[in-house]
């Protein structure tokens, strides 16, 4: 039986290629990469390279190439399952126990991922082309964002002039659509309503870059509605275990030792616009131990940059206390 992709991705997320390879090969940093003598051939001049950002190794003398699983299998003569067990242990993860639910979960993930991607693509297009998105576009312009940032972060706007639930029903089972948390049922109107209607949406990606949820920012001046909302927690989206923009920020960890922790989506995008891309946001919740552990896997230093008001100061202090408690020596 195949290991679920998300389990294998989690191992790769926790272990840099250089961390695994350095247990066998003496590596030296050279620019964005590491170099060393080939483990596949006797040589005097290093021809073996490791790229953590792209998650692969390459040997120029033998053309051997692959990821951490390939490396362990080839250098230690292991089968794939044995390599997975070894690396999961190194990553501090529990061994995977297969069950009948695994196939169901994997199939459900494929459907869920597809629905979210379609939802994101459709409403990104609406932001650019629908006349009713003018207010949303004006808001983004006022915040200094251009089409470049909209494209980089795949922002969208959920208009009211189309029942997208009915569109999705043509291709997906209703139970699967409901499980995504994108819609809720309105008893009075007897129909499913988009949870993010009349909101700018910010796709939230997992560590591998797949959409697992959304944040939404209201455009209308309605004091009865929360300014920001997030997707409800689902089988694949847990707020306390994810960070906004981590999929992009982690790719810089081989060049930078620090990451900026900010409060919201717009903070991340604004900093990115100004060339600061090693930035994450904690999805509107108190910083959790899981989030701290994830950041610590990639970066040596966490710089807290919350809002400069009283609530921002208090939130920053709580976050700092949580980080110290989590990372202090036992």
CB 220 within 8 A of CB 157: no
3-state DSSP helix/strand/coil % of the chain, to nearest 5: 45, 20, 40
251 lies in the same domain as 276: yes
Q: Give the mean pLDDT of 118-139.
A: 94
* Tokens found for residue 300: 């040596």
Among 321, 322, 305, which Cα is nearest to 261's? 305
CB 10 within 8 A of CB 93: yes
Structural domain span for residue 115: 100-237
11 lies in the same domain as 105: no
d(CA 148, CA 151): 5
179 lies in the same domain as 264: no
109 lies in the same domain as 85: no
122 lies in the same domain as 221: yes
d(CA 111, CA 115): 6
Cα dist from 279 to 13, 253, 269, whole Å: 17, 11, 9
Between the CA atoms of 62, 68, 71 and 75, what dihedral angle is there, to the nearest 10 degrees?
150
**Over 70: is that where the pLDDT of 104 sits?**
yes
How high is the mean pLDDT of the chain?
Answer: 91
Look up the CATH number of the domain holding residue 225.
3.90.980.10
Q: Give the mean pLDDT of 132-151.
A: 94
CB 81 within 8 A of CB 31: no
- Burial zone of 255 (CB within 10 Å; 0-12 exposed, 13-18 middle, 19+ buried): exposed
164 lies in the same domain as 253: no
pLDDT, one tens digit per residue, over 297-326 is 788 899 999 999 999 999 999 999 999 988
**Over 80: is that where the pLDDT of 147 sits?**
yes
**pLDDT at residue number 223:** 83
**pLDDT at residue number 179:** 94
Considering 237, 259, 292, which residue would you say is the last residue of a domain? 237
Q: What percent of the chain has pLDDT over 90?
A: 70
Look up the CATH number of the domain holding residue 250.
3.40.1360.10
232 lies in the same domain as 296: no
pLDDT band with cut points at 50, 70 and 90 for residue 45: very high
Would 155 be classed as within a structural domain? yes
**Over 90: is that where the pLDDT of 125 sits?**
yes
231 lies in the same domain as 250: no
d(CA 311, CA 143): 22
Q: Give the mean pLDDT of 262-289.
A: 93
Would 95 be classed as within a structural domain? no
Look up the CATH number of the domain holding residue 31.
3.90.580.10
Q: How many domains does the chain have?
A: 3
Would 57 be classed as within a structural domain? yes
pLDDT, one tens digit per residue, over 85-99 is 999 999 989 888 877
- Burial zone of 216 (CB within 10 Å; 0-12 exposed, 13-18 middle, 19+ buried): buried
127 lies in the same domain as 65: no
d(CA 301, CA 322): 14
257 lies in the same domain as 285: yes
**Over 80: is that where the pLDDT of 254 sits?**
no
**pLDDT at residue number 310:** 93
216 lies in the same domain as 147: yes
Considering 90, 121, 138, which residue would you say is the last residue of a domain? 90
Report the chain's C-alpha Rg in angstroms. 22
d(CA 62, CA 218): 56
Considering 53, 69, 90, which residue would you say is the last residue of a domain? 90
pLDDT, one tens digit per residue, over 185-238 is 989 888 899 999 999 999 999 988 899 999 999 998 888 889 999 999 999 999
Would 36 be classed as within a structural domain? yes
Distance of CA 28 to the CA centre of its chain: 29
Question: In DSSP terms, which residues pair with 29 in a beta bridge?
Answer: 34
Would 214 be classed as within a structural domain? yes
Residue 276 is classified by DSSP as: -
Q: Give the mean pLDDT of 36-44.
A: 92
**pLDDT at residue number 208:** 82
Angle (CA) 221-225-230 rounded to 5° is 115
pLDDT band with cut points at 50, 70 and 90 for residue 1: low
Tell me the whole-structure pTM to 2 decimals: 0.77
84 lies in the same domain as 111: no
**pLDDT at residue number 330:** 58
């Amino acid at each position: 039986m195949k290991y679920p992709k998300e389990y294998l991705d989690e191992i790769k997320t926790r272990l840099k290629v250089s961390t695994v390879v350095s247990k066998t090969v003496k590596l030296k940093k050279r620019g964005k990469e590491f170099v060393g003598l080939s483990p596949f051939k006797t040589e005097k001049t290093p021809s073996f390279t490791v790229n953590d950002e792209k998650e692969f190794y390459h040997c120029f003398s033998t053309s051997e190439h692959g990821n951490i699983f390939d490396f362990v299998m080839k250098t230690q003569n292991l089968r794939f399952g044995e390599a997975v067990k070894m690396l999961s242990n190194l990553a501090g993860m529990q061994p995977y126990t297969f069950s009948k639910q695994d196939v169901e979960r994997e199939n459900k993930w494929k459907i869920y991922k597809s629905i979210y991607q379609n939802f994101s693509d459709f409403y990104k297009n609406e932001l650019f082309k629908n006349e009713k998105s003018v207010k949303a576009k004006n808001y983004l312009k006022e915040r200094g964002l251009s089409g470049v940032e909209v494209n980089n972060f795949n922002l969208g706007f959920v208009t009211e002039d189309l029942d997208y639930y009915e569109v999705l029903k043509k291709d997906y089972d209703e139970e699967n659509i409901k499980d995504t948390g994108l819609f809720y049922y309105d008893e009075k109107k007897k129909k499913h309503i988009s949870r993010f209607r009349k909101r700018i949406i910010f796709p939230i990606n997992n560590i591998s870059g797949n959409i697992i949820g959304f944040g939404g920012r209201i455009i209308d001046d309605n004091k009865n509605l929360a300014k920001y909302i997030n997707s409800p927690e689902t089988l694949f989206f847990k707020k306390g275990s994810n960070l906004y923009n981590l999929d992009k920020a982690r790719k810089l960890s081989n060049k930078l030792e620090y990451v900026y922790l900010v409060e919201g989506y717009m903070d991340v995008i604004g900093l990115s616009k100004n060339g600061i891309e090693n930035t994450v946001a904690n999805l509107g919740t108190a910083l959790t131990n899981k989030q701290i552990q994830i950041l610590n896997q990639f970066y040596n230093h966490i710089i807290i940059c919350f809002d400069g008001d009283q609530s921002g100061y208090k939130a920053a202090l709580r976050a700092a206390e949580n980080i110290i408690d989590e990372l202090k020596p036992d």
